[in-house]
Structure 1
Amino acid sequence: MRETRPFGQALLLSGFIMLLCSILLPWWASYHKLDQQAEFVASHLARIVASQQDTLPLTGIAELSTERPLASQHPAWWFGQPAANQQQTIDNMPVFYRLDSQMATRQWLRTSLPLSLSILVLFAVLYWRWHRREQALNRYLHSLLTGPEKATPGRQHPLAQGIINLHQSYSSQLEQLQQQLSTAQDQSYQDSLTKLGNRFAFNRDLKVILDDENQLATATLMIVRADALPEINTALGFQTGDQYLQDIVKLVRKTIQSELGAHAYRISGTEIAVLTKGQCEPLAQRLGTLLSQELHHYQHVHELSCAAYIGFTQILPGQSAEQVLIRADLALAQAEQEAPNSWSMVLKQNDDENMGENQWRQRLQSMLSTNHILLQVQPVQVYKPAMLGYNEIYTRFPNDKGGIYQAGTVFAMLQRLGMSMLFEQKIIEMILQHIESKPLSGQRWAINLTPASLQQRSFLIWLERILTHNRDITSKLVFELDEQVLQHQLVAGKRLLDIIRRCGARFAISRFGHGYGSFRLLKEVKPDYIKLDGQLVRQLKQDSTNQQFVRMIVDLAQRLGCYVIAEGVETQEQKQLLESMHIDGVQGYLIAKPSDFDSFTGLMT
């Protein structure tokens, strides 16, 4: 619907148009008369020139000359060209003249001025009367806005009636709005998808715990990161992603249902937080183990690479919310470095771990650009003459104070900041350069791969390309991957294994021997090496069942053509017992401690 102009504006516009007409119409009449005068003069110019000069005013010419152009004077510019100097040629003689425009000008002014003045007065009066009425109406409407009881009986302006109706319905609407506000306030603390508390509710409840006057009160924060959500949203759509997130929430609720006072919140797109009273260590052990089992089952049923990761930290009164959340993030990042669906716990921070993300990013980028990464080697003592030497390469990260960052913390922050692939590539490139510069022959070099490498297709493409271009060195490499990582990401692990073997390198399963599922993995993967978990080695002498289990592993692995190496050998008794089991090699502090790759010359016997 077209919006109409206010009456006052329409009145002013009408007055302006009328005033313009009172000026232009008389001008047009005078201009037309002057134009007729110009036509008459042009047609009778020869006769006028032949007549006496004193007859010029009678012919409508103000000035005429046959000798030279007229002096430059200001004609009646409001009539334009008809009132300007003119020129014609009569019998090859130039004639210069200018029309007399005074009569036309007087005619225009005599008509236009009185008419314009009358219109101005008329519309000024009309506008003044309208303005007074508008002011009176505005005062009346303003009084109605402040109090409907001031309405004048019988004076029912449409807008006034609308104001009165508005006041009459205001009380009922106000009550409804208050009810809606109360409902909206409750909803503002609730996540619409999961019906959990949202981040605002989480911040509110966390502040209450941190501000508790009882300094001995303790609470635990658990954060569950639904790691597969972005992948599901991309591959299967957002509706499937929403269902996945609701399923994770159900598992979290099932896990914490026995914890009195536990509250769950959705604090970001992929993160579910739980606040509960109690000491962190027993709660983390109980809840982490239970939820991890549920997540493993969910992962298997829905064929995911990972369902979620879990992080725990302690909350004490007097701490800042930022410190608590940094620790929880660090715990999550450490869990992401372990097997899928793992949980981790961080109770306190050192100075390095207390850095914010921006500080970590700057330091890690500095390490990357300056190659400020230390490589160390720990050799394996081998027992079979046909078996080449085996040397495991470790990565250390020096800090600015002359010490070493904790490797787990660094890899956790790399995963958190999305820099894992860059560092993994840099480390492998450095290792290949060191191996190329080493004159040692008959040796193999083991490189540990992080779980993140299995999830990066671009990394696998890069790895195949660099191994193909360095086949002489590739034949000396052994890539190690943790057994639990392979158990839960077997398809991705086999894809990596195909690349490694196709390029001529070897493959090892580290931390092997977590249960009878290890035998199934050994059969499916058929690695070149398996490295017994250090926990098995430490308990070997005291536990006869462990000894029988290790003998079974050694026997089956050697039948499949796989070398068996025991990690974490620290005592002579462990070494002798393993030798009696016909182990292929031993590794640990008893054999050799890690040393710098630059100065490494082989195992000293």
Structure 2
Amino acid sequence: MRETRPFGQALLLAGIIFLLLSLLLPWWASYRFLLHQDQLIDRHFPLLVTSENHTALLPGMAELSIGHPLAADNQAWWFGRAAANHQRLLEQTPVFYRLETRAATMQWMLLSLPLSLACLLVFGGLYLRWRRENNDKEQHYRALLLDPEAGQLSVRDPVEQGILGLHQSHRHELETLQQQLTEAHQQGHQDSLTALGNRYAFRRDLGLMLTDDNKLATATLLIVRASALQDTNTRLGFQAGDQYLQDIVRLIRKVIQPVLGARAYRISGTDIAVLIKGQCEPLAQSLGTQLRQDLTHYQHLHELDCAAYMGFTQLLPGQSPEQVLIRADIALAQAQGGEPNGWRIVLKHQGDEDLGESQWRQRLQTMLAEDRIQLMVQPAQIRKPGMPGYNEIYSHFPNDNDGYYPTTTVFAMLQRLDLSMLFEQKIIEMTLRQIVEKNMPAQRWALNLTPASLQQNSFLIWLERLLLRDTNITSNLVFELDEHVLEHQLVAGKRLLEMIRRCGARSAVSKFGHGYGSFRLLKEVKPDYIKLDAQLVKHLEEDSTNQQFVRMIVDLAQRLGCHVIAEGVETGEQKRVLESMHVDGVQGYLIAKPSDLASFRGLAF
């Protein structure tokens, strides 16, 4: 549109020029006419000398005066000096005259007025037509800017071509931006390392499942925690850590691929969540078992203490995302308190378990600060004369309702909130204080160590310093570790047990006898005590194969100098069979139930 403005300006300039020419050219002709009259008067001026009447006017004169100047008035000022007073000498006498200008003025007016009017009409009409066409074009261009379909593309109209080209460029840029926005939206809901959905996509899909109109629809949430990521990053570098995490994701994808509609997300640095439609328990059984096998194989292949842990929970429409995530966290934390690569499932709504992390952290810190931990003891009955008594210490956690928090939940949340070491230190310190107060040198006191103790070098240093303070008390302590924990963390377990022996304390392997791998572990660790798993004792009197297996364990253990104590003894028949196998002691509800350590005075026979 700007290109049309110089044309309009040129049209106005041409109109002004032609208008000026229509005035100036007739004026110039009339002016030349006056000059011609003056020449004629100058040619005929000698006639005045011979004329008898010297005042007679020559043709072309308007006034004449001899000897006296005429008035200075110039009524035809537009002709300049040509219409002013003229002077001649007649026989030494000055003669003054003025030209006749009426005819020249009339000639000028008769010529200039029609030309000026014609110029105004022609150029005014052209200008108005140009303005009308220009306004139409401007409106057309404005409509074209708003709607490219309103234009009729003309090869001769560069402005219209430019506008349509601008629309095409704008459309292309818009499509590019839309594509970039789509990619950014996808990337905004996708984890860059694993190509899984991120936590935003997870919360979106979780919310959709929980607000499903189908009230009978059920779904399952699985969270897999890549527990070795931090250690891998520290020992081998972040590149190895990224590869480890991608390997875990690959195993998860392999397991969930046959499950229709299963979607995986990376919701934190170490946590991979999977949303699956269907009942939780059968899915947990199938997926958890298969994934545990793959993780265990990966653990042994890469020489890890543990590859990952798994937690399952059920989703039902109407629940809040926070409730579901808390239960999944609790299930995951319980799995971390058990064997490596294990899985747990939490389905029910329980008031204590539905507490959020911040509430649990506050309660646990209050327990720690106020020593709100109750120590319980369950003694074993020792058959060998002269052998010190064996008393296992348990921890209970009182709540504000004159009851107790579930022990498994507490230990799971301690693991989840990274408070295990602080509580383990507190329990050991409280146990030692009460043992000193009791002054029972003929008794040994067994304390259970959690898997977290094997993973904390600072805890091992602290425990060693504590045990070296009083060797008399230390010599009466026995530290128990579960067989499955030692089996999967053998190097760390042996380091812990060697430190315990070096300080003068003793060690025990609890829940012993899961298979023939137990014999290899017995040879590797050589503990002071082994405690037969309660599952071996449960149907011992009826299962001859189980009896033979237990006899082999007792025989090998005693040959290696280990004392054998059977856990979970609840019937007299079980006790009789075990005694016939020459076990060193029996422990269970048949012998004694757990009681408060503060009031314990020894096992009564």
TM-score tier after normalising by the smaller chain length? 0.7 to 0.9
- Secondary structure at 2:598 match in 1: coil
Partner Cα distance (2:168, 2:306) in 1: 61
CA offsets per residue over residues 513-554 of structure 1, 9 Å max, x none? 111110000000000000011111112123221111111100
CA shift in 2, pair 1:225/1:149, >3 Å = closer
Q: Which moved more, 1:166-175 or 1:380-389?
A: 166-175
Aligned identity (percent) is 71
Q: In the alignment, which residue of structure 2 is the partner of 1:491?
A: 491
Deviation at 1:445, TM superposition (A): 0.3
Q: In the alignment, which residue of structure 2 is the partner of 1:66?
A: none
Partner Cα distance (1:448, 1:526) in 2: 18
Partner Cα distance (2:187, 2:493) in 1: 45
Partner Cα distance (2:370, 2:523) in 1: 43
Partner Cα distance (1:147, 1:230) in 2: 61
Deviation at 1:183, TM superposition (A): 2.9
1:364 counterpart letter in structure 2: L
Q: In the alignment, which residue of structure 2 is the partner of 1:276?
A: 276
Deviation at 1:180, TM superposition (A): 2.5
Q: In the alignment, which residue of structure 1 is the partner of 2:594?
A: 594
Matched, 1:338 2:338: yes
Q: Which moved more, 1:433-442 or 1:186-195?
A: 186-195
Q: In the alignment, which residue of structure 1 is the partner of 2:554?
A: 554
- Secondary structure at 1:469 match in 2: coil
Q: In the alignment, which residue of structure 1 is the partner of 2:526?
A: 526
Deviation at 1:483, TM superposition (A): 0.4
Partner Cα distance (1:438, 1:163) in 2: 98
Matches within 5 A, 1:350-369: 350-369=350-369
Contact 1:558–1:564 (CA under 8 A) maintained in structure 2: yes
- Secondary structure at 2:531 match in 1: strand
Matched, 1:192 2:155: no
Partner Cα distance (1:213, 1:553) in 2: 58
Contact 2:441–2:476 (CA under 8 A) maintained in structure 1: no
Q: In the alignment, which residue of structure 2 is the partner of 1:255?
A: 255
Deviation at 1:275, TM superposition (A): 1.0
Deviation at 1:166, TM superposition (A): 6.4
Count of residues paired in the alignment: 454
Deviation at 1:439, TM superposition (A): 2.7
CA shift in 2, pair 1:148/1:257, >3 Å = closer
2:172 counterpart letter in structure 1: S
Deviation at 1:263, TM superposition (A): 1.3
Q: In the alignment, which residue of structure 2 is the partner of 1:233?
A: 233
2:525 counterpart letter in structure 1: V
- Secondary structure at 1:273 match in 2: strand
Q: In the alignment, which residue of structure 1 is the partner of 2:130?
A: none
Q: In the alignment, which residue of structure 2 is the partner of 1:135?
A: none
- Secondary structure at 1:404 match in 2: coil
2:315 counterpart letter in structure 1: I
CA shift in 2, pair 1:342/1:148, >3 Å = same
CA offsets per residue over residues 25-63 of structure 1, 9 Å max, x none? xxxxxxxxxxxxxxxxxxxxxxxxxxxxxxxxxxxxxxx
Deviation at 1:210, TM superposition (A): 0.9
Partner Cα distance (2:142, 2:463) in 1: 76
2:563 counterpart letter in structure 1: Y
2:333 counterpart letter in structure 1: A
Deviation at 1:463, TM superposition (A): 0.2
**Normalised by the size of structure 1, how large is the TM-score?**
0.73
- Secondary structure at 1:428 match in 2: helix
Deviation at 1:318, TM superposition (A): 1.0
Deviation at 1:470, TM superposition (A): 1.6
Matches within 5 A, 1:156-171: 169-171=169-171
2:594 counterpart letter in structure 1: P
Deviation at 1:307, TM superposition (A): 0.7
Partner Cα distance (2:229, 2:302) in 1: 13
Q: In the alignment, which residue of structure 2 is the partner of 1:213?
A: 213
1:443 counterpart letter in structure 2: Q
CA offsets per residue over residues 105-130 of structure 1, 9 Å max, x none? xxxxxxxxxxxxxxxxxxxxxxxxxx
Q: In the alignment, which residue of structure 2 is the partner of 1:392?
A: 392
RMSD (Å), alpha carbons? 2.1
Contact 1:530–1:564 (CA under 8 A) maintained in structure 2: yes
1:291 counterpart letter in structure 2: L
Partner Cα distance (1:244, 1:451) in 2: 22
Deviation at 1:596, TM superposition (A): 0.4
Deviation at 1:354, TM superposition (A): 1.0
1:379 counterpart letter in structure 2: P
Partner Cα distance (1:176, 1:238) in 2: 35
Matched, 1:440 2:440: yes
- Secondary structure at 2:311 match in 1: strand
Deviation at 1:414, TM superposition (A): 0.9
- Secondary structure at 1:427 match in 2: helix
CA shift in 2, pair 1:319/1:476, >3 Å = same
Partner Cα distance (1:557, 1:149) in 2: 92
Matched, 1:505 2:501: no
Contact 1:145–1:163 (CA under 8 A) maintained in structure 2: no
Q: In the alignment, which residue of structure 1 is the partner of 2:450?
A: 450
Matches within 5 A, 1:91-130: none
2:187 counterpart letter in structure 1: Q
Q: In the alignment, which residue of structure 1 is the partner of 2:285?
A: 285
1:538 counterpart letter in structure 2: K
Deviation at 1:233, TM superposition (A): 1.2
Q: In the alignment, which residue of structure 2 is the partner of 1:264?
A: 264
Partner Cα distance (2:256, 2:194) in 1: 16
Partner Cα distance (2:180, 2:372) in 1: 60
Unaligned runs of 5+ in 2: 1-140, 148-161
Deviation at 1:376, TM superposition (A): 0.6
2:405 counterpart letter in structure 1: Y
Contact 2:565–2:583 (CA under 8 A) maintained in structure 1: yes
Partner Cα distance (2:281, 2:145) in 1: 67
Contact 1:379–1:587 (CA under 8 A) maintained in structure 2: yes
Q: In the alignment, which residue of structure 2 is the partner of 1:106?
A: none
Matched, 1:580 2:580: yes
1:544 counterpart letter in structure 2: S
Q: In the alignment, which residue of structure 1 is the partner of 2:473?
A: 473
Q: In the alignment, which residue of structure 2 is the partner of 1:311?
A: 311
Contact 1:510–1:533 (CA under 8 A) maintained in structure 2: yes
- Secondary structure at 1:275 match in 2: strand
Partner Cα distance (2:230, 2:146) in 1: 61
Partner Cα distance (2:425, 2:560) in 1: 32
- Secondary structure at 1:379 match in 2: strand
1:310 counterpart letter in structure 2: M
Q: In the alignment, which residue of structure 2 is the partner of 1:301?
A: 301
Contact 1:374–1:596 (CA under 8 A) maintained in structure 2: yes
Deviation at 1:148, TM superposition (A): 5.8
- Secondary structure at 1:339 match in 2: coil
CA offsets per residue over residues 419-450 of structure 1, 9 Å max, x none? 11111111100000000011323110000000
Contact 1:339–1:484 (CA under 8 A) maintained in structure 2: yes
Q: In the alignment, which residue of structure 2 is the partner of 1:182?
A: 182
Contact 2:382–2:584 (CA under 8 A) maintained in structure 1: yes
Partner Cα distance (1:230, 1:442) in 2: 45
- Secondary structure at 1:191 match in 2: coil
Contact 1:220–1:277 (CA under 8 A) maintained in structure 2: yes
Q: In the alignment, which residue of structure 2 is the partner of 1:425?
A: 425
Q: In the alignment, which residue of structure 2 is the partner of 1:383?
A: 383
Partner Cα distance (2:239, 2:163) in 1: 48
Partner Cα distance (1:529, 1:503) in 2: 17
Q: In the alignment, which residue of structure 2 is the partner of 1:412?
A: 412
Q: In the alignment, which residue of structure 2 is the partner of 1:87?
A: none
Partner Cα distance (2:281, 2:387) in 1: 44
Deviation at 1:392, TM superposition (A): 0.3
1:224 counterpart letter in structure 2: V
Partner Cα distance (1:281, 1:176) in 2: 47
Q: In the alignment, which residue of structure 1 is the partner of 2:535?
A: 535
- Secondary structure at 2:485 match in 1: helix
Deviation at 1:403, TM superposition (A): 0.3
Deviation at 1:352, TM superposition (A): 0.9
CA shift in 2, pair 1:145/1:324, >3 Å = farther
Partner Cα distance (1:465, 1:271) in 2: 36
- Secondary structure at 2:264 match in 1: strand
CA shift in 2, pair 1:474/1:149, >3 Å = closer
Deviation at 1:164, TM superposition (A): 11
Deviation at 1:216, TM superposition (A): 1.8
1:410 counterpart letter in structure 2: V
Deviation at 1:179, TM superposition (A): 2.4
Q: In the alignment, which residue of structure 1 is the partner of 2:74?
A: none
1:376 counterpart letter in structure 2: M
Partner Cα distance (2:570, 2:228) in 1: 40
CA offsets per residue over residues 146-167 of structure 1, 9 Å max, x none? 98699xxxxxxxxxxx999866
